[in-house]
Structure 1
Amino acid sequence: MAKENNSSAARSVAYWLFQSNFKTLRLRDALRAEALFSFPVRAHTDRIRSGDKVIIWQTGKAQGCYALATVLSDPTVTDPLPEEMPYYREAVETEARVTIRIDYNLWNRPVTAEMLQAAGTVDSFYAGLSGTNYRATEAQFESIASLVAQQDILHEPETEYFINPGFYPPLNLILHGPPGTGKTFRTINHAVAIIENRPLEEVDLEPRTALKKRFDRYQEAGRIDFVTFHQSFAYEDFIEGIKPVVENDQVNYRVEAGIFQKLCRRAAEKVTENAGDWDSVPRFVLIIDEINRGNLPAIFGELISLIEPNKRDGCAEQLRTILPYSKKAFSVPANLYLLGTMNTADRSTESLDIALRRRFSFLEVPSDHTLISELAERPMVAGVDLERLLQAINDRMEALLDEQARIGHAYFLQIRDLDDLRGVFELHILPLLKEYFYHDLAKIGLILGRAFIQDERNATTKFANFDHPYAEEMLHKQRFRLKPVQELEERDFIRIYDPEY
């Protein structure tokens, strides 16, 4: 009689196929984080019992067996555990579930349908059909366990599948430097390198026209977006806001997603479509020009934490938030890169939010006068050595201010004759110098020399009939005025770097 009871107990172990839809549950992420403790039971609730063995299968493009498990409880109507909730893509209804123990965690090397077919165990195997719970056989379960043992999947190193923030390209990068160093110009190179997953040095070797064409194609395909921050740019433009819409000659209001949320949604869709195959997930780039000109804490809002590399969707410390207008759950996918530019001559640089600053990597794009001889159409114009000219200006600016105060080399790359040089000085160099020195023309004279500054201390002006203790002193005080640029000759520019000329 005892033998019969033992035999009956042995026969009571059943084998099941539990299926997860990748659109509902991020199974791979949950297994990777060891955060899967239960599974819904929507069929065979009267047959699935504690002690049964389970094949956990994900459907979709990356379908396969991602775990083998043991059932630890009979089906009970309950909610998922709090640890499991972040991995569900949509609201979860209270339903019958069983507690499970993961015996073989195959998140990084699933057993695929092709592997099972090669092993000859696909007969009566219902993986891929619509539904959550199907009967499986002991042979199917043991076949998968055998494949696990043969390939030593259990002991494969568990490498992170999201982008390592310690390597180039960082997920959040700001190019910073003086005006005229080509920061916005360089964003095209960086964006293409990110999208194509290629070294930046390799992309830099390509012809500019070919590079720009590919950049434009990626932008048209919705993989690259470009935005410029300014004083009026707000959270409602960047994330989401309530916007007026005219319909049938009536003004209605509705919640509209901003540029960042839209790009996040597109990037997240590609992660979903390529679930289980991170190497095939397309990358997306948002270029934020003049990032420090906006009110950054107000624009980013609660997303200031979500953009951190390890807080991205699918990462070890992922975070989600509920958006204030749409009330939808939101996270930032790990295949979206933020690429900003920042002008160090802009006084708002000093007030860049510290919390945001530490979430970005910074790459300096310095002024380099030596690039003029390599990149300029004509490094020597009307006898003026443009490289030496820029070097002299920047050396003197650094002596008067600091090492960040410089003029960019890009202003000198398209100069073809003396008129072009005059135009660059009138439209770019002199305005920048006025900004740097707060219109102190005497200091600008120390940079450029006497030829650029007129001394009008001997000019006479008659004041109105009024007694003032310093009237005579003010009448004869030293005054300066910029000389009209069109009156400058080549020798005036040469004397900036060669005073003895």
Structure 2
Amino acid sequence: MRNLGYAENTIAGYVSGLNIVSKHYGKDIYQIDDLKEIEQIHRDYASRDGELKNIGGSNTTNLRGGITQWLRFRTQPQQTPTPHMSKETTEYAMSKLPLNQILFGPPGTGKTYETIRAALEILVPEAVIEYDRVLGESKSLQQRNDARENLKTRFDEECNNHRIKFVTFHQSFSYEDFVEGLRAKTDNASGQIRYEVVDGVFKQLCDLASVQVTAINEAPVSLAGRTVWKMSLGSPARSDAGIYDECIEQNCIRLGYGDVIDFTGCKTRADIQNRFEAASFVLSSTRDYSLTSVTAFVTKMKPGDIVVVSEGNSKFRAIGEITGDYFFSPHPSNDDGYAQTRPVKWLRLYAPSLPSNELLEGDFTQQTLYELSPPKLDKDKLTALLRPADAEQQAGISNGARVLIIDEINRGNISRIFGELITLIEPSKRGGASEQLAVTLPYSKTSFKVPDNVYLIGTMNTADRSLAGLDLALRRRFSFKEMPPKPELLDKVSVGDVNIGSLLRIINQRITVLLDRDHCIGHAYFMPLEQTPELALLSEIFQQKIIPLLQEYFFEDWERIRWVLNDQNKSNTTYQFIVRDESLNLGKLFGQDIKVADRPVWRLNEFAFGKLEAYQSVIKGAVTNIQPPIEAAESTGTTE
């Protein structure tokens, strides 16, 4: 059932939340048939200041999400539950959202606009329910605008928390941008160029969705007075790869510099240098990094400081708290390093590693040990990572769903962008599914699978490419939701005597007959008139949006554009948007000896765009089932 939408962990969390609500409420919520009672429970338990304050130690996200999803399920007529509905049926109701979906429709139908709602419907369903409630009860445009603004604010919060990513496909977009590729980077310390495997936007999101907190210990309440250090503990690609696992097991950190010299008792950089010299260790200069790193490790680190363990330059895999002073402890299998040691309490361990942008503005540097500080370090992010964990995290459950919004998905080269991952995004091939698959990525040579809590939401402009021409591999793996024009949203909007809903409706009917429904005009172009129903704005919309769009649709076949605007039936040419250009004299242009076919040449009549009568005449005398004149197919340039 998880393949139908919500991740298995998310479903389990919601069901757990519903069980907690049932226990606290004193009645099995699955057996309540009265929708009013369920709505009251939702108000009591889904609000931040409701009954949740009396439930200690519970995961409020699962409580709110569970009761919100249950209310949504019970209020949908097509899925009205029977009494004593099983928990299995509940899981089905909560997993109905598709993992991969594409919103398709003509230009201006609100596809990108709708992605905000679709993403929050997955991540914060209670926000969408509240939005719908306000829209249903709103009596003014301002109330609707405020509701939308609140929804957008919540969307921005999820983006800032890296739970939503947005990308636009185009012809230059590639596998290296989407999955992974080599990138040249300059090391800030050495100034040298190096090539690294860098994760693309999709792999970053999948890694975030896959991350599990494998160990959690109580963290400091405040970071005030604590220094934050970045430290490397071996490298997965080198012979010292096992150092990290040893340090985790032994609750310590080890520094590779300093050879096997005991620096106990050293208080200053000069003391450290003297110990090096006493052991006949040759330093290249007083700025030698061995001297710098050991000095920091022995004399500057102090109990209570925070250490972030990096993995490469773009990820980190652990956060710990220094719990004691430096001590010398030779490594049993390393004769020339890793003898410098400090005890650590590991606060958070992540598998796989988290990307550096979950903590920093940018990447780590190659230095083994250095201090992290603002603005490079985002202390708010670090504080969020160290917040007290809930029961689900302690059980090793993933940190939640992620959404990738792909705008203009049909404009990219799907095979080039997705590569082998086009198979892995299928619900049945996702990680955790019965037929899960993993591939070895070409650059990093690591095993990779797509988690079952990563959702893809694409948008597609049907005027740009119809569904029939879409990549078949993509069509098989995505659900499609049509976003048609909605002139009914404009039925209450009028400019003078011109009803904008009727105007858009008849224009689209004519386009459907002359061309097809994929090339209709969306309502979004006219939505500004809801706020400012003025002729000047209507004129601007027509001149800057509608006419250029029609030119593109009809390849500048001006006569067909005239039919769309009903110009051929306007007896007064003053109100025709497109008129013949009578100023052209073929004899004067080419001479009498050149025979040029006398065909009509058209021009825009700017005067008409400022007259209400011109727009009224688009609607007047309109017939819903318009048939194009015979001349349309012959492009003779005449009208009936």
TM-score (norm 1): 0.62
Is the 1:189–1:203 Cα contact (8 Å) retained in structure 2? Answer: no
Please state if 1:354 is matched with 2:472.
Answer: yes
Q: Which residue of 1 aligns with 2:50?
A: none
* 1:454 match: secondary structure: strand
> Between Structure 1 and Structure 2, which shows a larger proportion of helix residues?
2
2:198 is aligned, of 229, 237, 256, to 256
Please state if 1:341 is matched with 2:459.
Answer: yes
Change (3 A) 1:426 1:277: farther
1:401 is aligned, of 496, 499, 515, to 515
Please state if 1:267 is matched with 2:384.
Answer: no
Change (3 A) 1:359 1:168: same
Query: Whose RCO is larger (CA < 8 A, sep 6+)?
Result: 2
Cα-to-partner distance string for 1:93-141 (whole Å, 9 max, x where unaligned): xxxxxxxxxxxxxxxxxxxxxxxxxxxxxxxxxxxxxxxxxxxxxxxxx
Q: Which residue of 2 aligns with 1:479?
A: 601
Is the 1:189–1:204 Cα contact (8 Å) retained in structure 2? Answer: no
Q: Which residue of 2 aligns with 1:439?
A: 556
Equivalent residues in 2 for 1:91-102, closer than 5 Å: none
Is the 2:212–2:397 Cα contact (8 Å) retained in structure 1? Answer: no
1:488 is aligned, of 610, 618, 621, to 610
Is the 1:422–1:485 Cα contact (8 Å) retained in structure 2? Answer: no
* 1:366 match: secondary structure: coil
Q: Give distance in 2, aligned partners of 1:218 and 1:495.
A: 47
Does 401-410 or 276-285 show the bigger shift? 276-285
* 1:318 match: secondary structure: coil
* 1:326 match: secondary structure: coil
Structure 2: segments with no counterpart, 5+ residues: 1-7, 10-85, 135-146, 215-349, 351-391, 568-575, 623-640
2:406 is aligned, of 285, 288, 303, to 288
**Percent same amino acid among aligned pairs?**
44
Q: Give distance in 2, aligned partners of 1:479 and 1:325.
A: 58
Q: How far off its partner does 1:486 sit?
A: 7.2
Please state if 1:497 is matched with 2:619.
Answer: yes
1:175 is aligned, of 90, 103, 126, to 103
* 2:555 match: secondary structure: coil
2:578 is aligned, of 437, 442, 453, to 453
Q: How far off its partner does 1:403 sit?
A: 2.4
* 2:102 match: secondary structure: strand
Change (3 A) 1:325 1:488: same
1:412 is aligned, of 520, 526, 543, to 526
Cα-to-partner distance string for 1:197-238 (whole Å, 9 max, x where unaligned): 459666534511111111111111110111111111111000
Q: How far off its partner does 1:276 sit?
A: 10
Q: How far off its partner does 1:253 sit?
A: 1.2
Cα-to-partner distance string for 1:155-186 (whole Å, 9 max, x where unaligned): xx99699x869953100010011111111011
Change (3 A) 1:158 1:369: closer
Q: Give distance in 1, aligned partners of 2:410 and 2:93.
A: 22
Is the 2:131–2:148 Cα contact (8 Å) retained in structure 1? Answer: no
Q: Which residue of 2 aligns with 1:21?
A: none
Equivalent residues in 2 for 1:155-170, closer than 5 Å: 168-170=96-98
Change (3 A) 1:315 1:327: same
Change (3 A) 1:320 1:159: farther
Is the 1:441–1:482 Cα contact (8 Å) retained in structure 2? Answer: no
Is the 2:170–2:408 Cα contact (8 Å) retained in structure 1? Answer: yes
Change (3 A) 1:362 1:485: farther
Q: How far off its partner does 1:405 sit?
A: 2.4
Is the 1:281–1:335 Cα contact (8 Å) retained in structure 2? Answer: no
Q: Give distance in 2, aligned partners of 1:432 and 1:425.
A: 10
1:430 is aligned, of 525, 547, 559, to 547
Cα-to-partner distance string for 1:19-59 (whole Å, 9 max, x where unaligned): xxxxxxxxx99xxxxxxxxxxxxxxxxxxxxxxxxxxxxxx
Q: How far off its partner does 1:457 sit?
A: 5.9
Q: Give distance in 1, aligned partners of 2:494 and 2:620.
A: 15
Change (3 A) 1:424 1:166: same
Name the aligned partner's letter for residue 498 of structure 1.
Answer: K
Change (3 A) 1:456 1:434: same
Q: Which residue of 1 aligns with 2:442?
A: 324
Q: Which residue of 1 aligns with 2:281?
A: none
Q: Give distance in 2, aligned partners of 1:356 and 1:487.
A: 43
Is the 1:240–1:325 Cα contact (8 Å) retained in structure 2? Answer: yes
Change (3 A) 1:499 1:160: closer
Q: How far off its partner does 1:459 sit?
A: 2.9
- What RMSD in Å do the two structures reach over aligned CA positions? 3.1
Cα-to-partner distance string for 1:253-293 (whole Å, 9 max, x where unaligned): 11100010000000011597858979985211001111111
Please state if 1:220 is matched with 2:160.
Answer: yes
Q: Give distance in 2, aligned partners of 1:460 and 1:160.
A: 77
Is the 1:238–1:299 Cα contact (8 Å) retained in structure 2? Answer: yes
2:120 is aligned, of 192, 198, 205, to 192
Q: Give distance in 1, aligned partners of 2:396 and 2:116.
A: 24
Q: Give distance in 2, aligned partners of 1:226 and 1:316.
A: 29
Is the 1:270–1:282 Cα contact (8 Å) retained in structure 2? Answer: no
Is the 2:539–2:609 Cα contact (8 Å) retained in structure 1? Answer: no
Is the 1:292–1:348 Cα contact (8 Å) retained in structure 2? Answer: no
Equivalent residues in 2 for 1:382-397, closer than 5 Å: 382-397=496-511
Q: Give distance in 1, aligned partners of 2:396 and 2:127.
A: 19
Change (3 A) 1:404 1:357: same
Is the 2:566–2:618 Cα contact (8 Å) retained in structure 1? Answer: yes
Q: Give distance in 2, aligned partners of 1:189 and 1:361.
A: 17
Q: How far off its partner does 1:499 sit?
A: 4.6
